[in-house]
Amino acid sequence: MAHPINILEQYWNHTSFRPYQEEIINSVLEHNDTFALLPTGGGKSICFQIPALIQDGICIVISPLVALMKDQVNSLKEKGIKAMAITSGIKYSELDTLLDNCIYGNYKFLYLSPERLQQDIVKQRIEQMNVNLIAVDEAHCISQWGNDFRPAYKNITILRQLQPHVNVIALTATAKPEVIEETIKALDFIAPKVFKASFTRPNISYQVLHSEDKIYDLEQQLKTHQGSSIIYVRSRKMSIQIHNILEKKGFSSTFFHGGIPTKDKTDRLNQWMHNQKEIMVATTAFGMGIDKPDVKTVIHINLPESLESYYQEAGRVGRNNEDAFAILLTNKSDEQALKNQFLKSLPTLEELKLMYRKLCNYFQISYGEGEQTTHHFSFSNFCTTYQFKSSKAFNALQLLDRNSIIKLSQQFNYKTKLQFIVSNASLFSYIETHSPYNIVIKTILRTYGGIFEHQLAINLTLIANKSSVSEKQIIAILHQLHKDGIVDFLYSNTDSEVLFLQPREDDKTINRIANVVEHQQQLKRTQIDAVLQYIANNDVCKNKQLLHYFGETTKTNCGSCSVCMKNNISEENKDIKTIITQIILALEHQPMSSRQLALQLALTKETVLETLQLLLEREIIELTVGNSYKIKQT
């Protein structure tokens, strides 16, 4: 049997393991059921990949994340290791062939979603495979207390029946004690070996900064902490806006979100990975499975939806163990924005029942039918037809997906796409002789930057609303532009795909998952409360707060977070009278903002704001209409 270190050197070009990796690998090779909690950047995948490579047979990996499955399969293939992922959209005949390859084709890894374990053909073929290990990635999903509970994860126990002699390794980056306990029980572990790395990342400075001007403070943080950075935002539109602002200010940046063509995603990722672009502005899905050791700073412009997701995203800094910074910019409006996005848009049980009935009606599915039927549809048209708010409708469809009622495709492969294939001058020459098309063409140009360089997915409803032209007319105009050689136009009246996993039974279908849905929604409310408590608590070390949330305790303050730094500054500036005097003298000359005072007096923004608040309470100063401060006239 090959030694684990030799496999590590051969395929990963490393000469030593990270903490806990070797112990976990040895536990798996000794055929123990093993639970591994390794925080982000701990190298979880190696813990099951190396044992699988050492032993004869194939490793079955269960994962809920299609993108992560594909990334790991591609990475293994690049190393010359035979691996495959069976994802949605595969025909039965193709699935039959792929599963045969796993039995007879010397494959080492088969990646599956938990939903696949419901299919008879998959179960039958797994029983015939020479399985050497079962790996459950994102194992917290099996627990109702986990931050991403998926009832389909309960199907994993089928593997223990199909392959009763094979040991299991469960892996996760974020799990509270009750989640670990429930996961071990649900996976039917016998005498489990549990490896739990500390959540402490001593080289990371966790900073929560209250900001009334996030763009200005973002700029200052990037100047202060120069190096490879990720800026997390909540929307695709915002990723583009922040990128454009940074570029204008002279920063080297690019942006990344789910709607970008695959080639552009690859190009932008490579630019950032190789430091051709220093800053990546991205939505929160970015970074999963990406190991870039020299990331200096992660900045959140918006509040995260949970401390679990925040810890994972923040944990992408400082993997080279050098000093790094996880910065969260927040202001008074963020609390309501967070609740609006993640709580107000949660559908009630009755709304979920209505949504399910309308979805079945939309596709004309009769009662008792529809199981395993696939349908393409336009999400925006579905919402318009039944006058649903898009955010609530999308959350309802995701709930149905998460609870295995439907399978919703979020790849959006069926979008209407457009590219202008003539020069700018030729286009405007064309407009002069085709004036009826003027408003539609100009609306598209002003809505979609880069449409001359790339074929982009376009939203016909958005263009119709902006131009006050009907969708039907816009489609006709674009067809004519295509015929005239002005554009490449690929029209699709669908942007999503839904697979019904159960026969239609209306309220009965939803009643079966009612308790789970209510539990998930209560968990979401608890997670939001934890985030708000984290940003509001400026008395306890931020590292201590995070550790406490994950069930870990420490008596030592980190010394580098925003709370510890504030306390250090307070110790250095015990003479508050001196600071008060400096501010009053400065304001006697002219009204000034807190930012101007901090710059002029060489004080931290926090110290200035605290002192200003004290002076406001004593009615020594007052706030002007323009949000500056001035001496109060008596």
Most distant CA atoms of the chain, gap in Å: 90
CA 36/CA 56 separation, integer angstroms: 23
CATH topology of domain 204-330: Rossmann fold (3.40.50)
| Radius of gyration (C-alpha) of the chain in whole angstroms | 28
Which of 221, 261, 290, 186 has its CA nearest to residue 448?
261
Helix, strand, coil percent values for the chain (each to nearest 5):
50, 15, 35
**Torsion angle (degrees, nearest 10) of CA 471, 472, 473, 479:** 100
pLDDT at 411: 52
Q: pLDDT tens digits, residue range 554-581?
A: 999 998 999 988 777 655 455 778 888 8
pLDDT at 302: 94
Q: Which CATH superfamily is domain 4-196 in?
A: P-loop containing nucleotide triphosphate hydrolases (3.40.50.300)
Q: Look at residue 491 and give its three-state secondary structure.
A: coil
Mean pLDDT over the full length of the chain = 89
Q: pLDDT tens digits, residue range 481-540?
A: 999 999 999 887 666 788 898 999 999 999 999 998 898 889 899 999 999 999 999 999
pLDDT band at 412 (very low <50, low <70, confident <90, very high): very low
Number of CB atoms found within 10 A of residue 562's CB: 19
Domain boundaries, the chain: 4-196, 204-330, 340-413+496-524, 417-490, 573-631
CA 253/CA 268 separation, integer angstroms: 10
pLDDT at 414: 55
Joined together, the tokens standing for residue 230 give 């990720």
pLDDT at 232: 96
Contact 299, 218 (CB under 8 A): yes
pLDDT at 405: 92
pLDDT at 89: 65
Whether 331 shows a pLDDT value over 60: the answer reads: yes
Q: pLDDT tens digits, residue range 84-97?
A: 999 766 778 889 99
Whether 611 shows a pLDDT value over 70: the answer reads: yes
Share of the chain above pLDDT 70, in %: 97
Whether 68 shows a pLDDT value over 70: the answer reads: yes
Which residues sit opposite 170 in a β-bridge?
35, 136
Q: pLDDT tens digits, residue range 115-168?
A: 888 889 999 999 999 999 999 999 999 987 777 788 888 889 999 999 999 999
CA 472/CA 363 separation, integer angstroms: 22
Q: pLDDT tens digits, residue range 24-64?
A: 999 999 999 999 999 877 789 999 999 999 999 999 999 98
CA 259/CA 456 separation, integer angstroms: 9
Residues comprising the chain, all counted: 634
pLDDT at 43: 87
Q: pLDDT tens digits, residue range 253-265?
A: 999 987 787 788 8
pLDDT band at 619 (very low <50, low <70, confident <90, very high): confident
Query: What is the arithmetic mean of pLDDT over 231-240?
Result: 91
- Considering the entire predicted model, what is its pTM? 0.75
pLDDT at 450: 83
Is the domain defined by 573-631 classed in CATH 1.10.10.60? no
Q: Do domains 4-196 and 340-413+496-524 have the same CATH topology?
A: no
Query: What is the arithmetic mean of pLDDT over 285-308?
Result: 89
CA 459/CA 72 separation, integer angstroms: 32
Joined together, the tokens standing for residue 155 give 């199907």
Residue with more model confidence, 205 or 626: 205
Domain 340-413+496-524: CATH architecture, name and number where available: Orthogonal Bundle (1.10)
